[in-house]
Structure 1
């Protein structure tokens, strides 16, 4: 009796070759003309710590929150927020203690050495943390 071998592949001459789309070439003069901060594809992570001193506090973040370069005024936009609601919604903090959340921003300019976290809101009470020193990891921990 002949034995058979089961293989997971089927060989066929009729299978067409998949075309490969090449990446477009970019002229070096064009790359040199683009502002360096535009070429950034990284993000800035800001871990925020809010000291809640009352029961059932409400907290939120506005999409008009930026990292602002102290030297140039260049702004990095808020891309994503974790563990906090975007206005007009609210996040309830049920107990007294430190509440933490994460804000993710678009990249800062390469030349930036110090920046501010600014929440621009149409009412009093926006977050504002000044003089955050830049680090190589672009990961920060701030008390709000």
Structure 2
């Protein structure tokens, strides 16, 4: 017995509506460098309350992944005088975003902050951080 496959009939109006509602999700990658200037070994970490904020809209991109750094409450050791690189991946920014801020909102002093990052076409950035 052979099966008959029936192709569904989808209205052109519905296809057009779906096509206009598709949003391309581009992630934003920050390669971050932190250099310890403290005399002894220093510790850093990232909080899940870390965002990219579009300067010209209310859009906030959330942290979706991190590499080579610990998430609160754990810590990552940074040897004195050495550059330490880690990577943060955020949800996409709006297509019309041209400048954004990197903000770690935490309930204590010392959160990471970098303002005025100019958007590029690759959405991959290298930034140097201070606390």
How many residues align? The count is 122
Residue 84 of structure 1 is matched in structure 2 by 69
TM-score of the superposition, structure 2-length normalised?
A: 0.83
2:56 to 58, 71, 80: 71
In the TM superposition, residue 98 of structure 1 has moved relative to its aligned partner by: 1.1
User: Which 4+ residue blocks in structure 1 deviate beyond 6 angstroms?
Assistant: none
In the TM superposition, residue 114 of structure 1 has moved relative to its aligned partner by: 0.4
Return the alpha-carbon distance in structure 1 between the equivalents of residues 67 and 58 of structure 2: 26
1:110 to 84, 95, 99: 95
TM-score of the superposition, structure 1-length normalised?
A: 0.76
1:49-70 Cα deviation digits (max 9, x unpaired)? 1111122100000001000000
Return the alpha-carbon distance in structure 2 between the equivalents of residues 85 and 62 of structure 1: 9
Mark the runs of 5 or more structure 1 residues left unpaired by the alignment.
1-15
Return the alpha-carbon distance in structure 1 between the equivalents of residues 25 and 95 of structure 2: 11
| Structure with larger Rg | 1
Return the alpha-carbon distance in structure 2 between the equivalents of residues 40 and 84 of structure 1: 28
Secondary structure at 2:51 match in 1:
strand
Secondary structure at 1:39 match in 2:
coil
The alignment yields a C-alpha RMSD, in angstroms, of 2.4
